[in-house]
Structure formats: C-alpha cells, structure tokens
C-alpha cells in the first residue's frame, strides 16, 4: 500500500507534457527523482521520460530554426522560377542573336519534320553535331559503304530542313539539342499513337486487345507476323529483316520486290503520322482519305509526296508496333531488333531502286502516292480528278491553239460587220506570226502543243515538269533519289 501511494505521489510530480511546463524545469524535476532509493524499473521509466523530453526540446529548437529560415527567405527578393531546360534551349544562344526563342521552336519543328520524312534515328548523334567533323564527298551509290558517308548524308538532310538562319549555327549545342528535342518527341508521339490512339484505324479489334497486353502476349500473338524464325540445330532464333509478312501485301515465303512495302498497314501508319490520330480513317475507302482541318504535320511542312524515309520509317514502326518491345528505342529491349539498322537496310534498297529507275521502285512510289496524295501536283499516282500533269498538258495545247489562230484586220468595207466594235483598235498580230498568215490547222496546233508540253519531257510520268523544277530550285541540295 505504501509503495502504491509513493508511486502515485511520484507520478504527480512528473511533468505531463512539454506544453504545460518549461522543458528545462521538467528535466530538472526528473533528474532530482533519480535517487538510489528508486527501484530499477522506476529508474528506467525516468530515463525514458528524460529522453522523450530531450527529443521534444530538440524538435522544438529545429522547428524554430526552420521558422527563422523561412522568415529570412521571405524577406529576400524571390528569384524568377526556373523553366525546364528542355523548353528553354535558347538560353545557350549568344546574347546578340535576335529572336532566339523563336529560332529554337523553328529548329525543334525541323526535328519533327526530319522524323516524319527522313529518319527516326541518327546514324551517329555525336558525329552529326561535331563542329570539328570534316565534310566528306561521295557518290550516291557509295552512301552505305562507310558510316561517315551516312553521317554526311544525314547532315545534308538536316541542313535542308533547318531554317536558313539556323544553318550557320548547326554545331552549336542549343541548336543541336532543340533539333533532337523535336526528333525524339515526334518519334515518341508516333510510336504511342500506333499502339493506342490510331490503333482503331490500323488493326482489327482482336489485334488491338493484344497490342495493349503484355510483352509476352504480344510475342505469342504476333511473332510470325514480324518475321520471327524459331531456333534450329544449325541456326539461332532471330527476326528476319526482309521475310516479315507484315511488310507485304502478298507474302509467299520469299522476298518479292513487287509486293514488299505494300502492306496497307504501312500506308495507314504514315497517314497517321502526318495527319494525326485519325489520319488513316477511310484511307482505302471509296470516299477517299480523311483530311483533318487541324494544322497537321502534313500541312505545316507541305508534305505532298512519298519519300524514301517515309516508307522505311513506316516499316520499322510496323515491326515495333507488333513486337514484344516496350519502348521504341534504337534497339528493342525484348526482341533485340536494331530498328536503326533495319531502317538503313530498307532505305538503302528504296534509294538504290529509285536511282537505278527500277520498275518495282517506281511502281511502289506510284502506289503510295496514289493512295496518300492522289490530288497532289508532285504525286506519281494522281487520280483522274487530280491529274494536274494531264490538265497542264491540255492547257498548253489550248494556249498553242489560241495563239496560233489568225488575227482579223478591219477594212472600210467591213464597217457593218464589226458588231459595233469599229472604234476599237485592230488587234496586234499573234507573237511569232506574220500579218496575213493563214490560220494554223489542227495538226499544226497539236505539234506546237506537243513541243510546248514536251520540253523537258524527261520527267517521270504523271509528274508535271513545273513541279519538279520548282522543288529543285527551292531545295538545290536535295538528291533526286530521295524523292523529297
């Protein structure tokens, strides 16, 4: 009973909380209770209470220190909020450069354009922007013999697309970073769009379910479609580059140049890339392709015909889309497919085919143009309604016919035959014709029209010579076998 009473008295003398008593006073009281007469259990309790009070006091001091620091920070002038570096590359520009922020955005847009029409990956990112890299010259047929040739080729492609005021600054870090920002973001957008936003216009509902599934599920569902070859006693498992059924409209197990790169899916992928999420809608329907009113990549960069890069990019996007790979990177994280290498293999054959005027290549581009750009002046596959080359030929023929018509000269005896126009001055003779010469007959008009429309007739069928000459003037660096 006495022990119980003594314990209650001791308890009453302890501080209850730091808020009710000053911390130092509470600690002093507790230390006074640490006497030899206290039992070991009680001593442990007092020590625990002391430790608790000490911790609380330390936390209170820390809180005060933080409060003081906050008050001091509030009294200081607040610096401007730092913007994300990726969206503020122009801060690295020279102070004397006018409108650097605007130039940064235009360079970034050039990077997006490069991803759509040229390539989704650079051959060598370091060498491409190296200010000390020496330019090399090579023949078109040598482009894929050396890496430095391929780098030089991409540098020329980049220069073609960069704004003129950015070309002298190409090797500056902030210009390179802005371009790569556009290239990388566009590649990511295109890959994400193919598996998700645009998938409803690209594949069947059953395929869409598998596309959204796990990597292993995609592998089992689509491995044969993208050219997977099982392991054998003599050969390791791998993915075939040119015997992937997804590249063909008709596949019989062999490489067939007349059917490769003609799978409708590839054209739908490119339509989605340049015309937005719903760009592939109705692409092969009788009503024709869906042309959105929005300011799409195709409108911004006036893409009016198929490039070699467009077909090669669409091919590797199709492979990745149905692969087990998670992210669209240069080398697949699950399959090991080197997508940059695949691009080079495909684009090499396309450019060689155009350079050598191979029938399979010319017909391939005519097919793509007829589906994607049927009404374009640059198209090799114009529709009946949009065959501007034929229309231009007819206009030339009409102009020749009208110009070759004989002039009429009035005389006093013609007074009443002027239909009231006797006060109008006589028309001048047609250029190149002598007064009183006879009217040219139909055969002569036709021959003149043919001479007019046949000038420079070495252009490819279905493409107006005016379109080709204007493009070559606008972009003198562009090589013909690139078709852009």
pLDDT, one tens digit per residue, over 36-66 is: 777 777 777 777 777 777 777 777 777 777 7
Contact at 8 Å (CB) between 326 and 333?
A: yes
* Count, residues in the chain: 484
What's the pLDDT tens digit per position in 226-259?
999 999 999 999 999 999 999 999 999 999 999 9
% of the chain exceeding 70 in pLDDT: 73
Kindly state the DSSP code that residue 203 receives in the 8-state scheme: S
User: Of 424, 433, 426, 423, which Cα lies nearest the Cα of 402?
Assistant: 433
Burial per residue of 270-279, b for 16 or more beta-carbon CB atoms within 10 angstroms, e otherwise: bbbbbbbbbb
Mean per-residue pLDDT of the chain: 79
Q: 23, 57 in Cβ contact below 8 A?
A: yes
Strand locations in 136-177, DSSP E? none
Query: Confidence class of residue 16 from pLDDT cuts 50, 70 and 90?
Result: very low
| 393, pLDDT greater than 80 | no
pLDDT at 462 over 50: no
Distances (CA, A) of 38 to 2, 4, 11, 154, 416: 14, 13, 13, 87, 145
> How many whole angstroms separate alpha carbon 98 and alpha carbon 176?
18
Show the beta-strand stretches assigned E in 193-309: 228-229, 238-239
Confidence label for 412 from pLDDT (cuts 50, 70 and 90) = low
**Sign (positive/negative) of CA torsion 198, 204, 205, 207?**
negative
CA 414 to the chain's CA centroid: 70
For residues 331 and 342, what is the distance between their CA atoms, to the nearest angstrom? 10
Prediction pTM value = 0.66
Domain extents for the chain?
A: 7-70, 102-195, 205-372
pLDDT in the model for residue 76: 65
pLDDT, tens only, 344-362: 999 999 999 999 999 999 9
First to last CA, the chain: 103
Question: Tens digit of pLDDT for each residue in 122-139?
Answer: 999 999 999 999 999 999
Q: Give the whole-angstrom CA distance, residue 279 versus residue 293.
A: 11
Give me 37's structure tokens: 């007469």
Q: What pLDDT does 209 receive?
A: 92
């Amino acid at each position: 009973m006495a022990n119980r009473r003594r314990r209650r008295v001791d308890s009453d003398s302890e501080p209850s909380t730091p808020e009710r008593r000053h911390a130092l006073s509470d600690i002093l009281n507790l230390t006074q209770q640490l006497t030899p007469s206290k039992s070991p259990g009680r001593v442990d309790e007092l020590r625990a209470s002391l430790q608790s009070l000490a911790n609380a006091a330390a936390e209170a001091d820390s809180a005060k220190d933080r409060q003081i620091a906050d008050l001091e920070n509030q009294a200081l002038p607040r610096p401007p909020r730092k913007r994300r570096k990726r969206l503020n590359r122009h801060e690295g520009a020279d102070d004397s450069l006018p409108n650097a922020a605007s130039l940064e955005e235009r360079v970034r847009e050039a990077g997006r354009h490069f991803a759509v029409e040229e390539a989704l990956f650079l051959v060598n990112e370091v060498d491409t922007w190296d200010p000390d890299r020496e330019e090399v010259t090579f023949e078109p047929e040598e482009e894929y013999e050396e890496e430095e040739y391929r780098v030089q080729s991409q540098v020329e492609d980049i220069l073609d697309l960069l704004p003129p005021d950015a070309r002298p600054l190409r090797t500056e870090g902030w210009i390179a970073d802005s371009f790569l920002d556009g290239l990388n973001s566009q590649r990511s957008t295109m890959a994400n769009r193919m598996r998700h936003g645009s998938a409803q216009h690209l594949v069947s509902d059953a395929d869409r379910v598998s596309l959204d599934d796990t990597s292993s599920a995609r592998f089992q569902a689509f491995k044969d479609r993208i050219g997977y070859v099982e392991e054998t006693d003599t050969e390791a498992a791998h993915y075939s580059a040119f015997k992937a059924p997804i590249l063909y409209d008709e596949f019989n197990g062999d490489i067939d140049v007349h059917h490769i790169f003609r799978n409708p899916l590839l054209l739908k992928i490119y339509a989605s890339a340049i015309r937005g999420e719903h760009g592939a809608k109705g692409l092969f329907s009788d009503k024709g392709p869906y042309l959105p009113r929005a300011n799409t990549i195709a409108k911004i960069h006036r893409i009016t015909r198929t490039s070699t890069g467009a077909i090669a990019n669409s091919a590797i996007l199709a492979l990745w889309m149905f692969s087990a790979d998670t992210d669209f990177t240069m080398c697949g994280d699950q399959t090991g497919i080197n997508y940059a290498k695949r691009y080079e293999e495909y684009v090499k054959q396309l450019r060689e085919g155009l350079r050598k005027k191979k029938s399979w290549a010319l017909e391939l581009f005519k097919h793509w143009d007829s589906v994607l750009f049927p009404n374009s002046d640059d198209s090799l596959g114009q529709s009946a309604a949009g065959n501007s080359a034929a229309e231009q030929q007819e206009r030339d023929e009409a102009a020749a016919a009208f110009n070759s018509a004989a002039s009429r000269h009035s005389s006093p005896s013609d007074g009443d035959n002027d239909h009231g126009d006797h006060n109008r001055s006589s028309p001048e003779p047609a250029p190149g014709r002598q007064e009183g010469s006879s009217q040219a007959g139909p055969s002569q008009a036709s021959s003149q029209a043919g001479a007019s429309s046949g000038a420079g007739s070495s252009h490819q069928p279905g493409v107006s010579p005016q379109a080709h000459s204007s493009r070559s003037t606008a972009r003198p660096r562009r090589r013909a076998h690139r078709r852009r």
